[in-house]
């Protein structure tokens, strides 16, 4: 068949290939997209497109944790890579928006058709349905995160010390129509090991945020690394734990019981170790591996064993495929589990009730078409034939 979706009569587009979905047998199908949705899925007819190369069709991927404004650091590998992050963190709003949109287009062309972006104070005013002429993925954003005064990334967060602060600030997010709230339950590891990872927002303030957000249809994500912060967040009722580097038995049990999603970020940390090694800093690399990556891998395994739902997120310096591969190679998840985490599972976390993440009649037509079978090698997902977002072919 042709390598790109061909226009079919009356504005429809057709694709034929091996359909791969999480937890289902692969089958050769002919898919028709019309008006932004999948209008027909039927067994492939042998005559149709016979003789062309075999291709593989998957639902468009979902990145459940990104920061598109800073994403250029993913592709930058030269000596400037280290300085770029600092530069981007201090750029002005107009430049940040240009970065955001350029990176969004690049991510979409890689097959990521939906992104939950936590990034950072750009959230308000940015709303992308995906598939429009600007060719962005669908992007679900939040306002600037809520945190403690002087806490994690405080120059880009909104400080709260009382329930009144929380209510006043979330009223802005509700008015802006934002779908997500981000809470800083702990510090980060940007300056590890110089800075210890602090426990930040209290359970009480996070509960106030979660109650108000849920009352208005918003969902809540908590950046939480140590067990104590994760416990504060899950007891407060958040919908997802981001990073969750140092999970313990108690948090894993509560997350499984309450259906709290877990979005690990293994690949970005692994990349940091590689960068340290490349710079000859082997002692620092060993320490980071021992103190951060090893516990993070263990957290993912514990969560999986307990039945916690896991979605794929990349943070800044990883791609969706990087994280899928890391979850498989470093934490022992299976192909179907990571594919679900980047499709059906992530769609559920994001509250997308339009069939996103599946290939079925009536579902939003978000598709990733690749040359070879990703069940044999997950990196096959990077060998893109075509990307369809809301029924629109994405420019390469
Ligand atoms: Zn992040």
Q: What separation in Å is there between the alpha carbon of 12 and the centre of ligand 1?
A: 38
Residue 129 main-chain phi, psi, to 5 deg:
-80, -25
**What pLDDT score does 52 carry?**
65
**What pLDDT score does 2 carry?**
41
Domains of the chain: 6-59+358-393 (2.30.40.10), 61-349 (3.20.20.140)
Q: What separation in Å is there between the alpha carbon of 115 and the centre of ligand 1?
A: 12
Q: What separation in Å is there between the alpha carbon of 216 and the centre of ligand 1?
A: 24
The residue among 271, 270, 246 whose CA lies nearest residue 196 is: 246
**What pLDDT score does 124 carry?**
45
Q: What separation in Å is there between the alpha carbon of 332 and the centre of ligand 1?
A: 23
Q: What separation in Å is there between the alpha carbon of 223 and the centre of ligand 1?
A: 7
CA distances from 344 to 76, 349, 352 (A): 30, 9, 9
- How many of the other CB atoms lie within 10 Å of CB of 283? 9
Q: What separation in Å is there between the alpha carbon of 348 and the centre of ligand 1?
A: 19
What's the rounded Cα separation, in Å, for the pair 81 and 212? 40
What's the rounded Cα separation, in Å, for the pair 29 and 123? 39
Q: What separation in Å is there between the alpha carbon of 314 and the centre of ligand 1?
A: 8
Q: pTM of this prediction? A: 0.93
Q: What separation in Å is there between the alpha carbon of 156 and the centre of ligand 1?
A: 12
Q: What separation in Å is there between the alpha carbon of 72 and the centre of ligand 1?
A: 14
Buried b or exposed e, range 3-29, using 16+ CB within 10 angstroms: eebeeeeeebbbbbbbbbbbeeeeeeb
Q: What separation in Å is there between the alpha carbon of 265 and the centre of ligand 1?
A: 8
Q: What separation in Å is there between the alpha carbon of 119 and the centre of ligand 1?
A: 8
Q: What separation in Å is there between the alpha carbon of 350 and the centre of ligand 1?
A: 16
Q: What separation in Å is there between the alpha carbon of 217 and the centre of ligand 1?
A: 22
**What pLDDT score does 262 carry?**
98
Give the long-range contacts of residues 79-83, CB within 8 A, separation 24 or more: 81/275, 82/275
Question: What beta strand segments (E) does 126-264 contain?
Answer: 138-141, 146-147, 158-159, 180-184, 219-226, 240-246, 261-263
Q: What separation in Å is there between the alpha carbon of 243 and the centre of ligand 1?
A: 8
Residue 395 burial by CB count (10 A; 0-12/13-18/19+): exposed, middle or buried? exposed
**What pLDDT score does 336 carry?**
98
Q: Can you state the percent helix, strand and coil of the chain, rounding each to 5?
A: 40, 25, 40
Q: What separation in Å is there between the alpha carbon of 242 and the centre of ligand 1?
A: 7
Q: What separation in Å is there between the alpha carbon of 316 and the centre of ligand 1?
A: 7
Give 271-337 as a DSSP string: HHHHHHHHTT-HHHHHHHIIIIIHHHHHHHHHHHHHT--B----BSS--HHHHHHHHHHHH---HHH
What's the rounded Cα separation, in Å, for the pair 44 and 36? 21
Q: Is 187 helix (H, G, I), strand (E, B) or coil?
A: coil
What's the rounded Cα separation, in Å, for the pair 200 and 347? 29
Q: What separation in Å is there between the alpha carbon of 42 and the centre of ligand 1?
A: 40
Give the long-range contacts of residues 121-129, CB within 8 A, separation 24 or more: 121/156, 122/69, 122/93, 122/96, 122/97, 123/173, 123/176, 123/178, 123/180, 124/172, 124/173, 124/176, 124/178, 125/176, 126/97, 126/100, 127/177, 128/104, 129/390
Residue positions counted in the chain: 396
Q: What separation in Å is there between the alpha carbon of 48 and the centre of ligand 1?
A: 45
Q: What separation in Å is there between the alpha carbon of 65 and the centre of ligand 1?
A: 6
Q: What separation in Å is there between the alpha carbon of 118 and the centre of ligand 1?
A: 6
Q: What angle do CA 370, 371, 374 make, to 5 degrees?
A: 65
CA distances from 259 to 62, 231, 251, 296, 301 (A): 19, 14, 12, 20, 17
Q: What angle do CA 303, 304, 307 make, to 5 degrees?
A: 85
**What pLDDT score does 123 carry?**
47
Q: What separation in Å is there between the alpha carbon of 25 and the centre of ligand 1?
A: 34
End-to-end CA separation in angstroms for the chain: 18
Q: Using omega within 30 degrees of 0 as the cis cutoff, is the peptide bond preceding 193 cis?
A: yes
Q: What is the pLDDT tens value at each position of the chain, 396 positions in all?
A: 444 555 555 567 899 999 999 999 999 999 999 999 999 999 987 665 555 678 999 999 999 999 998 888 888 876 677 788 778 877 887 888 888 888 999 999 999 999 999 975 554 445 566 655 557 899 998 988 999 999 998 888 899 999 999 999 999 999 988 999 999 999 998 777 777 799 999 999 999 999 999 999 999 999 999 999 999 999 999 999 999 999 999 999 999 999 999 999 999 999 989 989 998 999 999 999 999 999 999 999 999 999 999 999 999 889 999 999 999 999 999 999 999 999 999 999 999 988 999 999 999 999 999 999 999 999 999 999 999 999 989 987
Residue 34 main-chain phi, psi, to 5 deg:
-150, 135
Q: What separation in Å is there between the alpha carbon of 315 and the centre of ligand 1?
A: 4
């Amino acid at each position: 068949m042709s390598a790109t979706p061909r226009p079919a009569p009356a504005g429809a587009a057709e694709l034929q290939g091996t359909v791969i979905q999480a937890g289902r047998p692969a089958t050769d199908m002919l898919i028709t997209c019309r008006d932004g949705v999948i209008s027909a899925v039927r067994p492939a007819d042998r005559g149709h497109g016979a003789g062309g190369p075999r291709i593989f069709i998957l639902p468009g991927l979902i990145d459940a944790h990104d920061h598109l404004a800073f994403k250029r650091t993913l592709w930058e590998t030269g000596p400037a890579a280290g300085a770029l992050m600092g530069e981007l963190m201090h750029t002005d709003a107009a430049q940040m928006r240009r970065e955001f949109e350029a990176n969004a287009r690049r991510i979409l062309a890689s097959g990521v058709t939906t992104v939950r972006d936590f990034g950072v104070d750009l959230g308000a005013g940015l709303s992308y349905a995906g598939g429009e002429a600007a060719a962005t993925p669908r992007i679900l954003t939040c306002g600037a995160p809520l945190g403690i005064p002087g806490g994690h990334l405080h120059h880009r967060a909104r400080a709260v010390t009382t329930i009144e602060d929380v209510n006043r600030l979330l009223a802005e997010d509700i008015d802006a129509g934002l779908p997500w709230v981000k809470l800083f339950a702990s510090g980060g590891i940007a300056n590890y090991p110089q800075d210890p990872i602090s426990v930040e927002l209290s359970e009480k303030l996070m509960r106030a945020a979660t109650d108000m957000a849920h009352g208005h249809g918003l969902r809540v994500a908590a950046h939480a690394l140590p067990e104590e912060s994760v416990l504060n967040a899950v007891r407060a009722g958040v919908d997802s734990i981001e990073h969750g580097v140092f999970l313990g038995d108690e948090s894993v049990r509560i997350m499984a019981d309450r259906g709290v999603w877990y979005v690990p970020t293994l690949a970005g940390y692994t990349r940091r170790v590689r960068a340290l090694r490349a710079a000859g800093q082997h002692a620092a690399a060993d320490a980071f591996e021992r103190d951060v990556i090893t516990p993070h891998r263990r957290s993912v395994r514990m969560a999986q064993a307990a039945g916690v739902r896991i979605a794929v997120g990349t943070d800044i310096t990883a791609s969706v495929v990087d994280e899928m591969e890391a979850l498989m190679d470093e934490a022992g998840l299976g192909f179907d589990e990571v594919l679900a985490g980047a499709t059906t599972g992530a769609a559920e976390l994001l509250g997308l009730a339009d069939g996103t993440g599946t290939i079925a009649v009536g579902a939003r037509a978000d598709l990733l078409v690749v040359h070879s079978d990703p069940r044999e090698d997950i990196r096959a997902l990077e060998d893109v034939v075509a990307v369809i977002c809301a029924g629109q072919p994405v420019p390469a």
